[in-house]
Amino acid sequence: MKPQSILIAGMAVVALSSCTVVRQGEVGVKRTLGKIQQTALTEGPRVFNPFITTIIKVPARTINIEVRAPLPSKEGLTVQSDVSILYRVEGSQAPQIVEKIGRNYEEVVILPVFRSAVADIASRYFAKDMHTGQRTEIENAIRDLMMVQLKDRGFTVESVLLKSITLPPGLTRAIEEKLASEQDAQRMQFVLDKERQEAQRRVIEAEGVRDAQKIINEGLTPMLIKYKSIEAFNKLANSPNAKVIFTNGDAPLLMAQETKVD
């Protein structure tokens, strides 16, 4: 074959072929003459004929959708919230998603399912619950309900996060007043408990004094008193100081020490 012919053939191959790269976090869906190839293309360079084939790249990494959504509460109020929906496409099912739903699957499937789930779950809770520790419970319930409808379609919902909860103004004031009342009640309960403990302490102290006096009184027999009197006389007799003792014969009543005059 002549070199000129080889060059023409090579240019024809290049003209009839194209190359694309499927990057990390993506899968490729190959469509030839309108027919979807059911096996997803993994990352790497891919050569195809641009005249009859198209490679559609679908992200298989985690995607974050930010939505401003109204949350209907159990008492009929509407709570506004910024919501993050974290989901990802199952790479092996990307061809079926493109074939049956299309490339705009967020608008077609993800968001409608979210709005249905959030309306169903939020209506089971009071508005104040969305602003308290039950928020996590609500988030998990919305995610689980979305997964029931999306799992078989090739999507995995990782998390639903309620952010920037905005309660109706009247409800906000009511919650603040209730919290203030609860704090006042807790403060008063603390004071009452403290006074109750102090009163109990005084009772215990008085009972201790009473029991001590009772024990002393029961122990002061006439013989013991006489014995203590003899001890007192002995100590006074052995004292080097001059003294005057007044006694009735049983116990010392008064002691007076001499005052030395220089």
The three-state DSSP-derived secondary structure of the chain is CCHHHHHHHHHHHHHHCEEEEECCCEEEEEEECCEECCCCECCEEEEECCCCEEEEEEECCCEEEEEEEEEECCCCCEEEEEEEEEEEECHHHHHHHHHHCCCCHHHHHHHHHHHHHHHHHHCCCCHHHHHCCCHHHHHHHHHHHHHHHHHHHCEEEEEEEEEEEECCHHHHHHHHHHHHHHHHHHHHHHHHHHHHHHHHHHHHHHHHHHHHHHHHHHHCCHHHHHHHHHHHHHHHHHCCCCEEEEECCCCEEEEEECCCCC
Q: Give pLDDT tens digits for 156-182.
A: 999 999 988 887 666 556 555 666 677
Q: Give pLDDT tens digits for 89-122.
A: 999 999 999 999 999 999 999 999 999 999 999 9
pTM greater than 0.75: no
pLDDT at 78 over 60: yes
Question: What's the pLDDT at 243?
Answer: 59
Question: What's the pLDDT at 257?
Answer: 52
pLDDT at 245 over 80: no
Annotated domain spans of the chain: 16-59, 63-171, 222-257
Pick the CATH number of 63-171 from 3.40.50.300, 3.30.479.30, 1.10.3720.10, 3.40.50.720: 3.30.479.30
pLDDT at 7 over 60: no
